[in-house]
Structure 1
Amino acid sequence: MRKIVHIDMDAFYASVEQRDDPSLRGRPVVVAWRGKRSVVCAASYEARRFGVRSAMPAITAERLCPEAVFVPPDFGRYKAVSRQVREIFLRHTDLVEPLSLDEAYLDVTRNKTGLPTATRVAKTIRQQIRDETQLNASAGVAPAKFLAKIASDWKKPNGLFVIQPHEVLDFLAPLSVARIPGVGKVMEAKLARYGIRSVGDLRSWDIFELERRFGRYGLRLHELAHGIDHSEVKPDRPVQSISAEDTFDIDRFRDELGPAIRQLAEKAWQATRKTERLARTVVLKLKTDQFKIYTRSITPGDSINNVDEVSALALLLLQRVELPADTRYRLVGVGLSNFYEPGQLGGQTELFGNEF
């Protein structure tokens, strides 16, 4: 049985800003460039009380919280702190799987420091992060990766939550199916049509019936509902692709897609700032009102260095979609892929993670 720890830094970018500038402490801090095209990279917990969230348009955040202090992001500084945190992880285990600059999985089934339980490891890591970076981290401890990630969010901020192996089934039963990995809004709605709203509801279904209705993912749903997840912690798994997409309330013509593409390019670009790897390819995804999906991609000669390049290339790809002018679109997405390490034109992401 594995012992998995998921570490998630609390409001990471905003907390670094508040740590380094005492005048920001206790104030609603929004890490973002101001402007109609900008999106929120992070929000302090003081700002979150007003409904400000990451990936929200900055102009919306300003409307929700007029007293917010906007701070432009400094990714070089955040990456430096991330390296500090990763060094702490590696004192305890070599099995560290970074998810972004501010979170990671750690497999501490066997730890380097000889601590008797995963809970003790998580407590020690959180204290070391606090002592050495003056920042708070939340942690979840569980026998599976998806459970550890749920647990780390359970007592945020600055919390620790442990799911013991014998507690897994009882813990999962009342949770919304939306907590299960891969269950987004569309799948949640499909499950609700069958009366499946909680993990307990899902667990009551026969595995063969789930497979008949949902294919291979039905088998995965059955396993997760029973707390079964054989996913291993994979150290230094490189980013393959990053994307952002939006489904419109009202279908749009091609000439109306420009603003959405620019905003999605901003979101995708901001997401890449959580890794030091660089992208070479821009991908545009479109879904028509007839549910037909079209993708186009372009790989310029050099790496993509800023959000304006992402927007320009995505808009260029839009012109390469040769569909009738009266075609309506219900979804658009912008992605970045073909990543490589700086200085290495095509790894390692900069961070990042029996009794328990």
Structure 2
Amino acid sequence: MAAFLHRNFPRFHPFRMILHVDMDAFYASIEERDDPSLLGRPVIVGGSAEGRGVVAAANYEARKFGVHSAMAAARARRLCPHAVFIKPRIDDYASVSRQMRDIFEQFTPLVEPLSLDEAFLDVTGSESLWGASADIGRQIKQRIRAELKLTASVGVATTKFVAKIASALKKPDGFIVVESGEVQAFLDPLPVERLWGVGKVTSRVFDRLNIHTIGQLRQTPLATLSKLFGASGEHYWRLAHGIDGRPVVPGREAKSISSETTFAEDLADKEILRVWLVELVEQVARRLRRHEIKGRTAELKVRFADFQTITRSMTLAKPTSITQELLEAGMELLTKRLPVHHRPIRLLGFGVSKLDRSGKSQQSLFDRPDRDRQQELDRVADQIIEKFGKLAIRRGAGLDKNGE
């Protein structure tokens, strides 16, 4: 991979230059930074030492034992019994993420966040101010290290797809630049599983066809791939040829507030999915209340193992930021609105739209008797979390297996 490390790029390019910045073990690294006694020890964020819940993140020491996100905490405990389990502090992680965003926007306004810990940056128009795209990538890494005391891995390329792969290959603290004329040489040796959308099932099909690398896939006729995979066949073919014309889309005023997570392994366990949904709903509800916003439509986003993505939504009786009301809607969507027989899930997201920023609280004849009590519970919970961190309070799923 040395051939693709930083070279002296010309200052101007006739094509887009895109950075993918991906923080290294983000949640766990923040915990290590804030508590130096954790350094050198396996750290698992999420779940508990007693084996309850699921893993949200793991540092590299824990990953050596096979621990990864979305794994049941009980299994993580068996794999790494001496690990330190820490409750997530999502609000703290979000605060660090905003600091990262501030650094990015000093170099370019074209920033597209993907999650709290990663983003695409289009730096094509920034080279006249900050130097070549590779130099910008290095400056961003240095700023993150100096100001946040964290490390990031950066991929630099002419497309989102290639930049994202490049950022992942030398983690942690990685830095890879792929020049426009070397895209195929960069992609060809990589395993076909590096392509977006190639999961376990698709990988087994490729294995039967003796297609193990992106280069081998690239030599496969498009007609053959389309016959085998339908519309996804062209998707694989285009990526194998380094074709990805998607622009970096900077953030705009939010029309919705949402949170989502991609699992390291596809999940079919309904109870684990319910636990993750509780976490996502709590994040969204706290953000709504923090910004004095309410939402009228609850939305569930699901991406299955075959990369099919669907959304399900429902309109609420009135705009709300009450956690319990949003949780009830989310559970309804998860347990009753998905196909009866569906593939395992690789991504789960929850959000609200049709936002009301008026800050007013209108009463109605349909208000539930316990609504004031739920609002007070949320207010107290928010205060406790703000003062003592998320470790101080934890919401159970609170619903039966039918979501009721």
CA 299–25 in structure 1, closer or farther in 2 if over 3 Å, else same: farther
Structure 2 counterpart of 1:8: 22
Contact 2:160–2:246 under 8 Å retained in 1: yes
Of all paired residues, the percent bearing the same amino acid is 44
Q: Does residue 32 in structure 1 map to residue 39 in structure 2?
A: no
Contact 1:7–1:152 under 8 Å retained in 2: yes
Structure 2 counterpart of 1:120: 135
Q: Does residue 261 in structure 1 map to residue 270 in structure 2?
A: yes
Q: Which whole-Å CA distance do the structure 2 matches of 1:316 and 1:211 have between them?
A: 33
Q: Which whole-Å CA distance do the structure 1 matches of 2:283 and 2:219 have between them?
A: 39
Once the two structures are superposed, the pairs formed by residues 61-140 of structure 1 within 5 Å of their partners are 61-111=76-126, 114-140=129-155
Consecutive unaligned residues of structure 1, counting only runs of 5 or more, are 249-259, 288-293, 346-356
Q: Does residue 314 in structure 1 map to residue 328 in structure 2?
A: no
CA 4–240 in structure 1, closer or farther in 2 if over 3 Å, else same: same
Amino acid at match of 1:126: K
Structure 1 counterpart of 2:31: 17
Contact 1:142–1:148 under 8 Å retained in 2: yes
Contact 1:284–1:314 under 8 Å retained in 2: no
CA 310–262 in structure 1, closer or farther in 2 if over 3 Å, else same: farther
Amino acid at match of 2:126: N
- What's the offset of the Cα at 1:11? 0.7
CA 341–298 in structure 1, closer or farther in 2 if over 3 Å, else same: closer
- What's the offset of the Cα at 1:192? 2.8
Q: Does residue 169 in structure 1 map to residue 178 in structure 2?
A: no
- What's the offset of the Cα at 1:343? 6.6
More deviation, 239-248/115-124:
239-248
2:323 equivalent among 305, 312, 316: 305
CA RMSD of aligned residues (A): 3.6
CA 64–88 in structure 1, closer or farther in 2 if over 3 Å, else same: same
TM-score under structure 2 normalisation? Answer: 0.69
Q: Which whole-Å CA distance do the structure 2 matches of 1:242 and 1:196 have between them?
A: 32
Structure 2 counterpart of 1:147: 162
> Which structure ranks higher in relative contact order (CA pairs < 8 Å, sequence separation ≥ 6)?
1
Q: Which whole-Å CA distance do the structure 2 matches of 1:42 and 1:283 have between them?
A: 22
- What's the offset of the Cα at 1:90? 0.2
1:185 equivalent among 197, 200, 211: 200
Q: Which whole-Å CA distance do the structure 2 matches of 1:112 and 1:82 have between them?
A: 24
CA 110–201 in structure 1, closer or farther in 2 if over 3 Å, else same: same
Consecutive unaligned residues of structure 2, counting only runs of 5 or more, are 1-14, 289-294, 305-309, 359-404
Q: Which whole-Å CA distance do the structure 1 matches of 2:175 and 2:334 have between them?
A: 46
Structure 2 counterpart of 1:58: 73
CA 135–335 in structure 1, closer or farther in 2 if over 3 Å, else same: closer
Amino acid at match of 1:18: E
